[in-house]
């Protein structure tokens, strides 16, 4: 006969299996292409902990499972904001959760939520003093998305202090390069390549591979833009003006379907994400 003390544990494990199975089935068969309402509910940490029999770490693991399901269905900014809120709640439940900060870095800043992502990275930097990656991600976000290389370099130096040579020397050199050269998509491409090579999640790797293609397209267009300016002495008026410069044969296709555009100064950028109609949650 099973011990009485094992019965609550069996009930809890059964509930976890039921919840995970339900989320997975939803991922396989979404209702009319929309997220199930249960998936859009972000529980406050105390409530989530109570529903996990008082175990905040278990609640965090359930939260990351939920976020991973939502992360396969990011069709608009509302869903991306939901994804970020779930990850931030996971960090509140277990501040040292590795998957939460990694998933956040792979998606949130690229979709206009770099401030929300930065909160997650700073929390992970504080709670994982042995781990150099959150500090590196926090530094990269300040460098590339906030356009603040000096503050970004501060975090890169913090990341360097958590590693050993030769990586320590490489990170310190990177901090100096960021300050001297300014923001460059080539640096973003290096980071995304490293993330894609190290991740264990197949869906996340596919998304990171697409992000690499998006950045490569931006780099090709910016090279053509520089060539156009050097040869004509003018700023381009449209993207097709760049065809024929620096070997550009056609406008690259953005795998995320956002595309590329010229800013007010005639510089090529990735088309920014569409804002929420209410402007709530923009940039986290």
pLDDT in tens, 236-261: 999 999 999 999 999 999 999 999 99
Q: Name 268's bridge partners.
A: 262
Residue 68 in domain: yes
How many whole angstroms separate alpha carbon 120 and alpha carbon 10?
33
Contact 65, 20 (CB under 8 A): yes
Residue 102 in domain: yes
Place of tokens 């509910």: 41
Q: What does the DSSP 8-state code read for residue 243?
A: T
3-class SS at 100? helix
CA dihedral 26, 283, 103, 70 (to 10 degrees): 0
**How many distinct structural domains can be found in the chain?**
1
How many whole angstroms separate alpha carbon 107 and alpha carbon 110?
6
Residue 246 in domain: no
Residue 173 in domain: no
Retrieve residue 154's tokens. Answer: 């501060």
Confidence of residue 151 (pLDDT cuts 50, 70, 90): very high
Residue 33 pLDDT greater than 60, yes or no: no
Tell me whether strands 268-270 and 260-262 are parallel, antiparallel or unpaired: antiparallel
Task: Please state, for a pLDDT cut of 70, what percent of the chain lies above it.
Answer: 82
3-class SS at 171? helix
Q: What range defines the domain where residue 106 resides?
A: 19-128
- Report, in angstroms and rounded to the nearest whole number, the Rg of the chain calculated over CA atoms: 22
Q: Decide: residue 148, CB within 10 A, 0-12 exposed, 13-18 middle, 19+ buried.
A: middle
Taking CA 149 as the corner, what is the angle to CA 276 and CA 258, rounded to the nearest 5 degrees?
Answer: 35
What's the predicted TM-score (pTM) here?
A: 0.74
User: Inter-axis angle of helices 56-70 and 6-28, to 10 degrees?
Assistant: 10
Residue 70 in domain: yes
pLDDT at position 279: 40
Which helix (H) or strand (E) segment holds residue 226: the answer is helix 202-232
pLDDT at position 56: 83
Residue 281 in domain: no
pLDDT at position 237: 96
Contact 101, 64 (CB under 8 A): no
Which helix (H) or strand (E) segment holds residue 134: the answer is helix 133-144
Residue 192 in domain: no
Residue 255 in domain: no
pLDDT at position 29: 44
pLDDT at position 250: 97
Residue 232 pLDDT greater than 50, yes or no: yes
pLDDT at position 25: 47
Residue 160 pLDDT greater than 50, yes or no: yes
């Amino acid at each position: 006969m099973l011990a009485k003390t094992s019965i609550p544990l069996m009930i809890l494990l059964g509930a976890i299996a039921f919840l995970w199975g339900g989320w997975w089935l939803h991922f396989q068969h979404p209702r009319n292409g929309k997220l199930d309402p249960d998936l859009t509910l972000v529980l406050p940490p105390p409530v989530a902990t109570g529903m996990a029999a008082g175990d905040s770490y278990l609640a965090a693991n359930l939260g990351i499972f939920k976020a991973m399901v939502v992360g396969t269905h990011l069709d608009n900014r509302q869903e991306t904001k939901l994804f970020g809120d779930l990850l931030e709640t996971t960090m509140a439940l277990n501040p040292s959760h590795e998957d939460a900060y990694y998933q956040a870095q792979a998606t949130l800043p690229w979709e206009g939520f770099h401030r929300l992502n930065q909160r997650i990275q700073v929390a992970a930097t504080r709670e994982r003093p042995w781990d150099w990656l959150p500090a590196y991600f926090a530094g990269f976000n300040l460098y590339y998305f906030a356009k603040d290389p000096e503050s970004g370099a501060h975090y890169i130096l913090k990341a360097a202090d958590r590693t050993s040579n030769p990586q320590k020397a490489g990170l310190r050199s990177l901090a100096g390069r960021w300050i001297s050269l300014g923001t460059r998509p080539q640096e973003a491409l290096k980071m995304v390549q490293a993330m894609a090579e190290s991740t264990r999640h197949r869906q996340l790797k596919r998304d990171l591979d697409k992000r690499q293609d998006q950045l490569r397209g931006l780099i090709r267009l910016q090279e053509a833009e520089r060539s156009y300016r050097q040869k004509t002495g003018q700023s381009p008026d449209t993207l097709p003006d760049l065809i024929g410069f620096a070997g550009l044969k056609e406008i690259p296709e953005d795998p995320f379907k956002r595309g590329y555009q010229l800013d007010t100064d005639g510089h090529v950028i990735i088309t920014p994400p569409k804002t929420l109609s209410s402007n709530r949650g923009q940039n986290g």
